[in-house]
Structure 1
């Protein structure tokens, strides 16, 4: 396998000892932690894991791990695992409740035997609640997690997203929750049980209805459509000479540049078209003008001219074109790798680089029958933080200077703030965060309130020499700096990792962008829709039954993916660097690209494309590896459910539950795939006479993965989400009414839920922060405010 050039003991999680008992998508949690240096021992039953049936997926989810076999159905095997757990720091498991009870390997038993152990349970719906025993896969989670209801053409069948998009977030959420719990263990000596629900991870993590903005924010409106949203105008796609391009006109300056490129047509000269809603309303007149301009030019020509004019524009690439892209080769995002004996493919390497070297693929997944030994001694680790007070979040005592902007930046900083870190949101009134600009004349809106909760606000002009010096002084007293500007911006301000490390060797600097700091695309404008277009997701997230030349066939316009998941993945790497610093005494430079997060999600798809060039394209609701499977109409207006039969046993259960005819030729998957259309037509007749709830109840009771399509407003009343307290109420004095908000990343046995302190107004805490961090006196602060270096609100809000 192609190496990364970094030694295992140089990675931030070197010395972290993990037992991995997971299956399926949950396996990606330990894979990411292994990328970052953890010693992961993958335990499989004799003969190997069930997930090995997906050879490519297993290889990618289990790279960089060691392997061992244990028969947990025997007393000796269970006892051996229990003893081995005493050598580990974290144990990851995805047993169903019934399976854990039957084995006698419950989280409670692990915790009683080893009170210092962090046990992370990753299950489909969580360890508690009325859906505890339900089963799911990616497609079922897309239906019940609020993704399906906004995917597809209006008036048509809802469209499942490409494989990998939904499953990815489960592993990333679990990795973050595991490290949060581990930090708490390091500070208290006491272990933790972390209950990760894949359902809640999808609801809160793919593109949340009640989170930083995107079209998903329609979930807070009572008028959320019963049909798919008409998302074609959100991030419009236009045909060109050799394919399609996507346009993202968000800022006023971008529209005005496009207006000039069009030749300044008189009917769009009115300043009201500076606003996005006015352009949406006039799309039927505006888009034909743009289409005519683009029609005779190639994608590369249009993207180049768009960049020269400051217009966000991206080519819609196929998986084959992604694999051939020079950018991903140069950055190391895609590498040639040996996935197993006789299986070599081009695949994503990993999420991030650490100190300039990719933290990704190093060794293949373990072969069946592995006989891995136990673990070495844990290194001495002192996080250098004060004693953790009662009720404090695990990251209390960490100070974060947050320069992040828009959705990605907001998510990254919020994760640290929610766990108790002092996160200082640094802003300049001359360049306000785009999330603040979603309501004219206001400094607050639900999107900003959701994304920036629990942070403090500092108004500072970083472009002035005085402001830059103040920032360096703050960095000297801080732990982490977060930014997601265009590549090179931090260095131009004098805040590169090397420069900040000169004043604080323990500083961790996370510098993120759309396409990373290297490669020919590094200066491309970075919005999620353009990242999706350039990474093959848009090409795969389209209706295969539609005219290939019809731009409306692309159905990914109603999401800001991968902003949220990329923010979470970067947070994992930054917290890993905090843990690694306890061993080395040094900080780190973390570089992440949203594009890399998108590529990781498509790993198995890209691997297959590299093995069979020209054959991999959008599969829509027809899943190549299972039958019957897909989206089925139910009784009622625009009512749908997803059913996904992966195994022969599930097929027998489906037949028994629905009364479909028994046929021995269909007992094995190949036979069912051959007669897919016939089987799925019969199943569709059965679902059409029943409500989605009835279909779900009958099939789940039989052990068949199925779920009703859940619309975003209905998340607030879903019985499982209510039972597990997945939402809380967020209040802000600048909002007209309270809004629902996600309650937590996972359910912890002792880690407290996040506080819900209001997001800061611009410069709200400037005076207090400057006094605390810099020791500035009141008159000195006044002078800096007068000079415009510091910024404070016109009216000081009440103490909060």
Structure 2
């Protein structure tokens, strides 16, 4: 059993935020029907390099546990199929530009007439209301627009984006949270509702203490490299053999750190007594610690600090993370059977539920792989599927697996 068994999600989203959201739902048991353009599909199928046996690694990463159907949603016949799917779906998700779904006859007000219980999640760059609602939004654009790049990078340096698509991934996570919340509400009211999730709103939420600190001081945060504005020492340092992280978050840990590292002079220096003192004398303290750590091997530092419970560790590369024994032990790397990609691996399930765990049930689908299967479930017979008019609507995907 899985928590979302029996929940059907009609997924018209593409690229990353929406597909990541629906993958999270699919991991927990929901039946995700991924609607794609005939012959083209989700544009991430063409995001290369790299390709893995002809498949886009970008696409593979966020589309497991889904079924793919190709439909021309701009055609009357295609919309009829969407309406029929919407009648029996719990969730509808899309990330087109503001107004596009309404023009196609697939907006929330239109679909709730067909199914009052449907939960309609709309993901956009700037939201469906407000003066910027018609602007296109992409991860990089919103990293800049939403303030992330103003606090990322070295002090005095050029703007730097986060190394991963942080805006898209967090928005997808927030959207999944909204959908699950709406499901709980529907259980009480019997009605679905509209969810407006935007890339910008997610970034404003992630400003968190930086936003409140600005209101408290009237001073916006700036770039500080790996350092923290209100905690010292809490940043990267360079040991003799590698870069490491030292995270001394309170006065108790500071004392343990100093004793373990035999820094009694720093422990009893009045400039560094409290965290507030250390923040006030950040430059002096960081310079001293940097010089001392640079003379030591990382292994020696880790052994001393781990022994007394002071948070510290290496700065791993991606290959080191995905092959780390602890990551493997936590089942965070999945091996997936795929009809084209042999030995497909991807990041696993970040949440562990004791009674209704996430499961890998389906490989990332080939384009249109389940078109016939889903049409049959709708009551369309093989002869109708072969009809020329319907064939034009659902297309002939070049790498689809046909069941008829």
TM-score (normalised: structure 2): 0.82
Counterpart of 2:62 in structure 1 is 61
Contact 1:323 1:346 in 2 (8 A): no
How many residues were matched structurally? 362
TM-superposition CA deviations, 1:522-569 (whole Å, max 9, x none):
xxxxxxxxxxxxxxxxxxxxxxxxxxxxxxxxxxxxxxxxxxxxxxxx
Counterpart of 1:316 in structure 2 is 315
Q: Quote the offset at 1:269 in angstroms.
A: 0.5
Matched, 1:27 2:19: yes
2-structure distance, mates of 1:340, 1:178: 31
RMSD over aligned Cα atoms: 2.5
Contact 2:12 2:36 in 1 (8 A): yes
Contact 2:3 2:356 in 1 (8 A): no
Matched, 1:39 2:39: no
Counterpart of 1:261 in structure 2 is 260
2-structure distance, mates of 1:228, 1:294: 23
Counterpart of 1:363 in structure 2 is 362
Q: Quote the offset at 1:302 in angstroms.
A: 2.2
Query: CA separation of 1:296/1:228 partners in 2, compared to 1, >3 Å: closer, same or farther?
Result: closer
TM-superposition CA deviations, 1:554-605 (whole Å, max 9, x none):
xxxxxxxxxxxxxxxxxxxxxxxxxxxxxxxxxxxxxxxxxxxxxxxxxxxx
2-structure distance, mates of 1:294, 1:87: 62
Contact 2:260 2:304 in 1 (8 A): no
Contact 1:138 1:163 in 2 (8 A): no
Query: CA separation of 1:375/1:296 partners in 2, compared to 1, >3 Å: closer, same or farther?
Result: farther
Q: Quote the offset at 1:273 in angstroms.
A: 2.9
Query: CA separation of 1:278/1:17 partners in 2, compared to 1, >3 Å: closer, same or farther?
Result: same
TM-superposition CA deviations, 1:256-307 (whole Å, max 9, x none):
1122134344364146634212113333433344334433444344223211
TM-superposition CA deviations, 1:220-261 (whole Å, max 9, x none):
245425853576365222111321111111121111112213
Contact 1:332 1:358 in 2 (8 A): no
Counterpart of 2:88 in structure 1 is 87
Where do 1:270-669 residues align within 5 Å? 270=269, 273-338=272-337, 341-342=340-341, 344-355=343-354, 359-370=358-369, 371=371, 372-373=373-374
* Structure 1 unmatched runs, 5+: 1-9, 378-800
**DSSP-derived class of the 2:364 partner:** coil
2-structure distance, mates of 1:230, 1:73: 48
2-structure distance, mates of 1:116, 1:86: 9
Q: Which runs of 4+ in 1 moved over 6 A?
A: 374-377
Contact 2:266 2:272 in 1 (8 A): no
TM-superposition CA deviations, 1:483-508 (whole Å, max 9, x none):
xxxxxxxxxxxxxxxxxxxxxxxxxx
TM-superposition CA deviations, 1:330-382 (whole Å, max 9, x none):
111123335661364442112211217862544211111231427989xxxxx
Query: CA separation of 1:262/1:299 partners in 2, compared to 1, >3 Å: closer, same or farther?
Result: closer
TM-score (normalised: structure 1): 0.43
* Structure 2 unmatched runs, 5+: 48-55, 379-404
Query: CA separation of 1:313/1:121 partners in 2, compared to 1, >3 Å: closer, same or farther?
Result: same
Matched, 1:50 2:49: no
Query: CA separation of 1:291/1:156 partners in 2, compared to 1, >3 Å: closer, same or farther?
Result: closer
Q: Quote the offset at 1:154 in angstroms.
A: 2.1
Contact 1:87 1:375 in 2 (8 A): no
**DSSP-derived class of the 2:102 partner:** helix
Q: Quote the offset at 1:141 in angstroms.
A: 0.9
**DSSP-derived class of the 1:79 partner:** helix
Q: Quote the offset at 1:122 in angstroms.
A: 1.1
2-structure distance, mates of 1:20, 1:185: 19
